[in-house]
């Protein structure tokens, strides 16, 4: 089981250092699960440095498909590898919504990262309008179709209507979506969408939920540690 924290555009290097020092104190409680944090690009180096020698991994929040080139504002997989980063999130709904990410781009970013030796958490999920229109399966099938099963690939199911809204998919909705995704692609599937300490247990107890991609609740070290501890009992 994997619990990954996506910090989005929060925590510069100083805050990241404080968080990682504190998270290390909880590491002994996480022996039976995999744990990762995804700071902003500017905070990756300090996270890697402080968490070196632990089993807590550091992942980036995005990665470009080219190893280098004239791509202002982007960061490549080789650059992340040189920093000591273990993986990257790809295709998060916020990247799709605000920055025009497409399924094709997600496929290219995923392929480049995997080929460079990074692990990838590839995000998929439907909007509220798509769910209400009965299009969830079609959306997930389209988004998953561009991915290929590999040992270092994990999919995160993030219903867009449950990200940062306080809404959470019921355990039944999560299980149904995860089972559907696994029927398309044989990889672990994380749930993301307002995961908190008080709802983590019932979500992680579902048979096809292999962990969580945690947003807001991963910004507080005690909250994140509580979710990780819940996962060790699931």
Q: What is the CATH number of the domain that holds 94?
A: 3.20.20.70
Long-range contacts formed by 224-228: CB under 8 A, 24+ apart? 224/3, 224/5, 224/23, 224/37, 225/23, 225/26, 225/29, 226/197, 226/200, 227/3, 227/195, 227/196, 227/197, 227/200, 228/3, 228/26, 228/29, 228/30, 228/33, 228/35
The confidence score (pLDDT) of residue 147 equals 98
The confidence score (pLDDT) of residue 221 equals 98
The confidence score (pLDDT) of residue 119 equals 98
The confidence score (pLDDT) of residue 194 equals 86
The confidence score (pLDDT) of residue 169 equals 82
The confidence score (pLDDT) of residue 198 equals 94
Which residues belong to the active site? 92, 158
The confidence score (pLDDT) of residue 161 equals 83
Q: Which domain holds residue 201?
A: 2-232
Count how many domains the chain has: 1
Across the chain, which has 234 residues, the per-10-residue mean pLDDT values are 98 98 94 95 98 97 98 97 98 94 97 98 94 94 97 96 76 95 98 93 96 97 97 89
Q: Report the C-alpha dihedral over residues 78, 9, 222, 60, rounded to 10 degrees.
A: -10
């Amino acid at each position: 089981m994997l619990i990954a924290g996506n910090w989005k555009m929060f925590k510069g290097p100083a805050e990241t250092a404080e968080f990682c020092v504190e998270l290390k104190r909880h590491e002994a409680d996480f022996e039976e699960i995999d744990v990762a944090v995804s700071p902003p690009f500017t905070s990756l180096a300090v996270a890697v440095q402080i968490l070196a020698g632990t089993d807590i991994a550091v992942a980036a929040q995005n990665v470009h498909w080219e190893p280098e080139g004239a791509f202002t504002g982007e960061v490549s997989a080789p650059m992340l590898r040189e920093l000591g980063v273990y993986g990257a999130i790809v295709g998060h709904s916020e990247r799709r919504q605000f920055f025009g990410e497409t399924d094709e781009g997600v496929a290219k970013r995923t392929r480049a990262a995997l080929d460079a030796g990074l692990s990838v958490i590839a995000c998929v999920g439907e909007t509220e309008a798509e769910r209400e229109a009965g299009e969830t399966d079609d959306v997930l099938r389209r988004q998953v179709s561009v991915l290929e099963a590999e040992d270092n690939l994990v999919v995160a199911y993030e219903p867009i209507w449950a990200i940062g809204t306080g809404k959470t998919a019921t355990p039944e909705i999560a299980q149904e979506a995860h089972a559907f995704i696994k029927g398309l692609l044989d990889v672990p599937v994380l749930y993301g969408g307002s995961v908190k300490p008080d709802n983590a247990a019932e979500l992680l107890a579902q048979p096809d939920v292999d962990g969580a991609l945690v947003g807001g609740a991963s910004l507080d070290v005690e909250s994140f540690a509580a979710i990780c501890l819940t996962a060790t009992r699931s």
